[in-house]
Amino acid sequence: MQKINRSNLAFDMYYSSGKNEAAGEKIAEITTIVRDRTTGEEVTTATFKRITSKDRSQKFDLGVIRLSRGNDQFCTSVIEHYRKDVEGQFKNLMADVSDVLESGLNNSTWIGTYGLRIMGDISAENYLPESVLALVGKKPVEQPAAEVGK
Q: What is the pLDDT of residue 106?
A: 74
Q: Confirm if 24 and 84 have CB atoms less than 8 A apart.
A: no
pLDDT bucket at 82, cuts 50 / 70 / 90: very high
First CA to last CA across the chain, in angstroms?
Answer: 46
Return the bridge partners of 112, or none: 115
pLDDT bucket at 147, cuts 50 / 70 / 90: low
pLDDT value at 141 more than 70 = no
Q: Which region among 4-8, 105-109, 140-144 has the lowest average model confidence (pLDDT)?
A: 140-144
Q: Confirm if 118 and 100 have CB atoms less than 8 A apart.
A: yes
pTM of the shown model = 0.88
What lies within 8 Å, CB to CB, of 80 at 6+ separation is: none
